[in-house]
Amino acid sequence: MCHAKIEHEGTTGKSTDTTDGELRQGRQGRGRAITQISACLAASLGNLSAAAVNGWTASTLPSMKEDPDLSMTTAELAWIVSIISVGCMVGSVFAGRLMDCIGRRAALMIMAPCLSAGWVTIALAPNTAIVLVGRMICGVATAFLFSTGTVYCSEVPEAHMRGRLGLIPALFMTFGVVLSYIAGAFFSWRISCYVCSAPLILMFALLWFIPESPYWYILKGKKEGCEASLRWLRGPKYDFSVELAEMEDKINSVGKKVQYRELWRPRTRKPFLISLFMSTLQQVSGGNILMMFTGLIFMSAGVENHRMATVATGLVQIVGTLLSMFAADRLGRRPLIIASTFIISLATTFLGVYYLMKNVFGNQWPPWVPLVSVLTAVVGYCLGCRTLPWLLSAELFNTTIRSTANAATLFYNRLLSLTVLQVYPFFEEAFGAHTVFFTFGGLSMLCSLVSFFVVPETKGKTLEQIQEHFETSKKKKKGKHNIVHPASEVTAATSV
């Protein structure tokens, strides 16, 4: 079995559940929490507006279809939803290099006005073509905001807080989708664009007051800048000498030169494949379909007040994401991913049964059935599938390749998203909604089973410990391992 529990050897040579990060915290105490939280919140604000780009169509497509200035075919509707994935793919090619070149914080500040320009273009669009241009601009900007914010929030916190703070970008993604739902429900589709762009002003202002990532300073050989950043983040009384030494040792061992072929070297290949798998389960689960075509799905299912149902879908996303945030550092990443895909599988399969009875057999079930099915699937999606892939894609890689790997994973994620979003409307027209959701249910169950074997557990580990695990596991064929397999756990328990 391939799934991993990352552990370390003590001075006796025996495996121990106590991490080096926990031992260091015991010796030095923990750093100041409020500054670490503040930095992650400021860096994640852009995700409010960026995620609103994804959720915007869920509540605005019905009104856009009624707008006399816009006449949309099925193909044009699919492109309005999915063209942001094309823009995001373009942006992801450059996102990694930009954040490594000028810094994570600076990259976020540059992208704020760029995304604002995209929203304004959509708001002022006289026809469908200009809407597509604006959506394309937004897609490019979201690539930088999603990847840069995630990398920053994985590098800033201490190990014991990284699960919660590292998921703040995902939480703000959820808030952003809800923002777009509410804006679309209570304002015209044009005015909703201005509402969705408002968080960018606050993010731009707050970024002036937070430091650059200490890992970026180390990557650039700026030790003094790293010390100043750590002092601001951890507090003046915190002794960060051990943490700084570990960061320097790791960057010296892996080097500073960034190349895409590094992604396929033994020390990086396995985490890269895991990261790609996490993006795969995120897209093929059908969660994005439920959140980007929400209004149309509720209308086709016979839900009377589709606008309020869409808002309710946004609110339960907050519940699911908050559960994920608080459980990630308690239960771990892997159990949440398995539970998430399992819940989605059951809910989307049941939604498929509803459509089968309604459209094929003419047996109309109560409208609360599809509503509950969608809400359950969305909660399950936000519990793990939506949030944890972004966190793991930043956790699994060393400092030199982290931003590049994150951008490459984002490119793959958006390519898959583009495919799913483009295929969905035509697939539904050709084979019926029941077939679509049966397919999503089957794929989600398959992902749940595969996750049990391949997703590693990184709870409570420092970034250096996680990287060391992957770098040394290839060298250890027999004997002591940093990976504890289920079979070996059972054997150890039996022997005791």
For the segment 434-466, what is each residue's pLDDT rounded down to a tens digit? 999 999 999 999 999 999 998 888 877 777 777
Instruction: Enumerate domains of the chain plus CATH numbers.
Output: 8-495 (1.20.1250.20)
Residue-level pLDDT at 260: 61
Give the model confidence (pLDDT) of 391-431 as tens digits: 787 778 776 777 778 788 888 988 898 888 888 888 998 89
Give the model confidence (pLDDT) of 262-317 as tens digits: 677 777 788 888 889 999 999 899 888 888 788 788 888 888 887 788 888 888 88
Burial of 352 (0-12, 13-18, 19+ CB in 10 A): buried
Q: 433, 300 in Cβ contact below 8 A?
A: yes
Instruction: Give dist(CA 247, CA 252) in Å, integer.
Output: 9
Residue-level pLDDT at 473: 58
Helices (H) and strands (E) in the chain, counts: 24, 2
Which positions ≥6 away from 494 have C-beta within 8 Å? none
pLDDT at 4 over 70: no
Give the model confidence (pLDDT) of 247-259 as tens digits: 777 676 655 555 5
Residue 348 DSSP SS3: helix
Residue type, 182: I
User: Cα angle at 140 between 135 and 145, to 5 degrees?
Assistant: 115
pLDDT at 112 over 90: yes
